[in-house]
Structure 1
Amino acid sequence: MASVPEGLLDGGVWFRVEEAGSASAVRRASEHLAAELAMPDRRIADLAIVATEAAGNLVKHADQGGILVRTVRAADQAGVELIMIDSGPGMADVQRSIGDGHSTAGTLGIGLGAIVRQASRWDLHSVPGKGTVMAVQVWPAAAPEPVWGAGLTRPITGETACGDAWAVREVDGRRQMLLCDGLGHGGLAAAASHEAVRVFRDAPAVPPAQIVEILHRALNHTRGAALAVAEPDPQAGVVRYAGLGNISGVVLGPDGSRRGMVSMPGIAGHQRRQVREYDYTLLPGATVVMHSDGLVERWNLGDYPGLLSHGPEVIAGTVLRDAGTRRDDAGVLVARF
């Protein structure tokens, strides 16, 4: 079997899906990744169906369709995740669209139903006139519990390496999330962000401001980065936040409230003022969103009814689709509580 395309084993690879030939590329990449992860043949076959139908749906129905293929990991197994994003007509009735035989393009209409049957887990949000985001996971065995936090990154047009990166972790009872934007674009920006992720994952269980200080010292041999660390604490009803540079953070309340979080000026690894940590109220059912300056601030939850009831992958995909710019690397990280 051919080697796995570069990037599949870490941040994943994006595919533009605009013609029939794209479906074959997505299926092959998915199969290669699953084989590299030693998934059983039966589940690789199921994944091939998911990938083929997902890409086929985008070709038939969508505008500006794209699919991210990437690894997902749990404590004792690894699987494959596909995230489909489009700006197509959307679906007014998702459950009816999933049912076999329903079609809006004169085709047999079995695509979504086949995806749902073969997937270990799926999640979909669609708004008529705006498009659809769907996240599908195929695991070798029973699917693990859903994650509380997940993100997406996308490189600037013309690049394959993305300078934005994200990570989440739980250590000694602390849930922490990192978003990092390496300065510039391409390989050197990606190297800075990947180093930040590596150090973050190995850092001691200390508050966000101390994590940022550790990252600042660790990145002094890199190009440097804007970054922020959030520590949502649902039991205490607070999210603790510290950042350097142009990372945006916001707490979205279940009541529709929106509270921005503050990062300090600076470049991790090169220059900074004193790192400060701020506390923000975290109500039950709140969502924390962090994004790089590759996304504009002007996205309105009122345009996406029911979005916050979905998983972090679908929320992140929706924000990336409508707020992301192609003129910069883009990264968004979401946590739900």
Structure 2
Amino acid sequence: MTTMTRPGLPQPTGDVWIHVEDDGSVPTVRRRATELATIAGFDENRVAQVGIAATELASNIVKHAGEGSVVLRRIQAETTTGVELITIDSGPGRRNIHAMVADGTTTSGTLGIGLGAVKRMAGALHLHSVPGHGTVVSAALWPSLEQPAALPVSGLVRPLRGQEVSGDAIAHRAFEGGHLIMAADGLGHGPLAAVASTRAVEVFQESAGVAPGALITRMHGALSGTRGAAVAVVRLDEDTRTVVHAGVGNIAGRLLGEHRSRGMASQPGIVGHNLPRVRETSFDASDTRAVVLHSDGLTEKWELSSLPGVIRQGPAVLAAALMREAGVRRDDASVVVLRVPA
């Protein structure tokens, strides 16, 4: 099966992670955010707004959680490039965080503009907070206040601490009537692992095919001169609400609904070195709200019950919450989330 496709996530391994632990970390977040906005072609006023939003969000971590992480990256919607800011903390959390978005609500110790002003500058602000677990906030800013149509997919890639690059990678393609997502985990860590996972992404993006098993088989030949990788690919057919999954190696997959979670099992093997006959498995996704793939940098021992309401948030918030809850292993980590339309 072939069809016209178009790329989604433009540079899935380009996440910039900044650890925030005190007020001295905030200027770094602001500087890196404004650099990304400048590279994306924002005008001077819009670059300044990105800096203000980044300062407010990073300062909120210091004030309310003590420490946490800010993720900065460029995002793409058709031909428009934007900047996304994601904050993740494991602080006390709040039961009524959405009240902080109301006009006039500020956070002491920051610029005092409040999350309501950040939302106006961003156009869209998504957040999730659970007492005892922490808070996740995502804001996407574009060159103007006019918001392009949001992609139903997002994800995060985090390198092993001390490494400059991650051996994990994620990718997405949209095609007429559906979406494809993939996750790849190059064996080991660092640049050589990244060569394998990046090559898998290149094959995924360059191919016109949408059959998950055939895509992995094609990757196998392309990765033969690399360390190899664990890879999983999922196709969502929106008209039939069907998910087709194929995976080789330690990439976990789940179908998430409001009331139940179903696993999608991968086969043993290494793409590029030891490939079994790749099997595809089809699932009825009529009661599914999101599809998740993640590397073994995230433990599989996570449950949505500990994150009430997160399934109703945007895919970036869901990905960030899962990274916080399950990304506890000392390893590269990646997660990609595809929302299933109602």
Q: Secondary structure at the match of 1:161?
A: coil
Residue 29 of structure 2 corresponds to which residue in structure 1? 26
1:223 and 2:210 correspond: no
Aligned AA for 2:170? Answer: W
Of residues 239, 244, 250 in structure 2, which corresponds to 1:240?
244
Distance 1:33 1:191 in 2: 24
Shift of 1:117: 2.2
Of residues 162, 174, 186 in structure 1, which corresponds to 2:190?
186
Q: Secondary structure at the match of 2:60?
A: helix
Of residues 181, 196, 200 in structure 2, which corresponds to 1:177?
181
Tell me the alpha carbon deviations over residues 234-282 of structure 1, each in whole angstroms, 9 at most, x when there is no partner.
321210000110101011123x111111211111111111011001120
Q: Secondary structure at the match of 1:333?
A: strand
Alignment of 1:245-284 (within 5 A): 245-254=249-258, 256-284=259-287
Shift of 1:64: 3.7
Contact 2:68 2:89 in 1 (8 A): yes
Shift of 1:101: 4.9
Of residues 190, 201, 205 in structure 2, which corresponds to 1:201?
205
Contact 1:102 1:108 in 2 (8 A): no
Distance 1:79 1:298 in 2: 34
Q: Secondary structure at the match of 1:146?
A: coil
Aligned AA for 2:215? Answer: I
CA gap 1:51/1:225 in 2 versus in 1, 3 angstroms: same
Distance 1:9 1:181 in 2: 13
Alignment of 1:1-337 (within 5 A): 11-102=14-105, 110-141=113-144, 142-254=146-258, 256-337=259-340
CA gap 1:195/1:107 in 2 versus in 1, 3 angstroms: closer
Aligned AA for 1:203? Answer: S
Structure 1 alignment gaps of length 5 or more: 1-7
The alignment-based identity, stated in percent, is: 46
Q: RCO greater where, 1 or 2, for CA within 8 Å and sep 6 or more?
A: 2
Aligned AA for 1:25? Answer: T
Distance 1:75 1:95 in 2: 30
Contact 1:312 1:336 in 2 (8 A): yes
Aligned AA for 1:176? Answer: L
Indicate the RMSD between aligned Cα atoms, in angstroms: 1.8
Distance 1:16 1:106 in 2: 19
Distance 2:149 2:172 in 1: 15
Q: Secondary structure at the match of 1:313?
A: helix
Aligned AA for 2:193? Answer: A
Distance 2:109 2:155 in 1: 35
Structure 2 alignment gaps of length 5 or more: 1-10
CA gap 1:19/1:249 in 2 versus in 1, 3 angstroms: same
Tell me the alpha carbon deviations over residues 4-32 of structure 1, each in whole angstroms, 9 at most, x when there is no partner.
xxxx9952210000011211111111111
